[in-house]
Amino acid sequence: MKRPSVAITIRSFDQYGRAMKKLNDEFEIVYVNSTGLRLSEDDLISAIQNAEYVIAGTEIFSKKVLDASTNLKVISRVGVGIDNVDITAAEKHNIYILNTPESPVLAVAEHTLALLLTILKNIQKYNNQMRMGNYAVEPGQILCGKTVGIVGLGRIGYRVATMLAALGCTIYYYDPYTRISPPSEWISVSSLENLVSSVQIVSLHTTPQKEGTAVFDSRIFVQCKKGIIVINTARGSLIDERALADALDAGIVTAAGLDVFSTEPYRGELLKYSQVIVTPHVASNTIESRQQMEMEAVEHTIDAKRRITQ
């Protein structure tokens, strides 16, 4: 009996790990993305044309892609967000969307903290200077005692807030939809404007807006406490990058730590700012979390296959 077909479209998947072995045991693998890049719309259509199941990353499953993928039954996402999938088109074609919400939490939370500490302690600046024989120093900052605003108190936002609270920060949060009951000492804020005007650091952990518009735009940046630090390990669309550059120029934002961008790989103007610390969308890309996410995505795919074929 012919095995169901699966395509691996995520740009990084361990082809020699346990998750791949388990996938091989259950499916015929018809495509593996070995480019190291996120597939374009046309490349994605070509990659999944013969697939019933997909192990996916952040590539865009648009209406055009899903309309062209007549065999597709399941998209199993290695990661949390499913905003890269046109949900309406998926529902129209009866395509199931799965994700792995628990696996990346600790890795992303730690990466958020790493970006913040890199900024406060001038780590990247010293690293670059010393390699050029420059040993000039300037004062860093202590994290303990800082006021931190968390935008989005889901799994990752809550873990980040817990870590920062343990390090002596005062936690403010804005999330009108949270289902989590935070500690009583954390301060709930009624609007994003009130949050950014009250804190020294803001960290984004919310989902993108449906229309893809920025949450942090010029209107929000002018409300920020002067000298604020902005961290984003959630989604690039949350920040208007031009507005952030303007806020940096105006001294409203003193520094930023960014793992995600509106277009990736990112080659935009924010790279010109030494006070902007950047990483290429790798917050969840630790050995441990990747193994767990990949295995969960494969297991979810196998479970879905069994339900569909029953």
264 belongs to the catalytic site? yes
Using alpha carbons, select from 231, 237, 230 the residue that is nearest to residue 212.
237
Distance separating alpha carbons of residues 230 and 74, to the nearest angstrom: 36
Phi/psi at 31 (5° precision): -160, 140
Which residue do the tokens 């290695």 mark? 78
For 4, 91, 94, 309, the CA distances from 66, given in Å and listed in that order, are 18, 10, 10, 21
300 belongs to the catalytic site? no
What is the edge-to-edge ordering of all strands in the sheet holding 170-174? 187-188, 170-174, 147-151, 201-204, 228-232, 253-258, 276-278
Q: Is 205 helix (H, G, I), strand (E, B) or coil?
A: coil
Catalytic entry in 205, 281, 290, 300: 281
Catalytic entry in 38, 235, 290, 300: 235
Catalytic entry in 91, 102, 219, 264: 264
Distance separating alpha carbons of residues 85 and 91, to the nearest angstrom: 11
Using alpha carbons, select from 132, 135, 121, 163 the residue that is nearest to residue 257.
121
Q: Is 122 left (phi over 0), alpha (psi -120 to 50) or beta?
A: left
**CB neighbours of residue 274 within 10 Å:** 10
Show the CA angle centred on residue 154, arms to residues 219 and 255, nearest 5°: 45
C-beta separation of 108 from 281 below 8 A: no
**Residue 264 tokens, joined:** 């990736």
E-strand stretches of the chain: 5-8, 28-32, 53-56, 74-77, 96-98, 147-151, 170-174, 187-188, 201-204, 228-232, 253-258, 276-278
205 belongs to the catalytic site? no
DSSP H or E run through 229: strand 228-232
Hey, which residues are catalytic here? 235, 264, 281
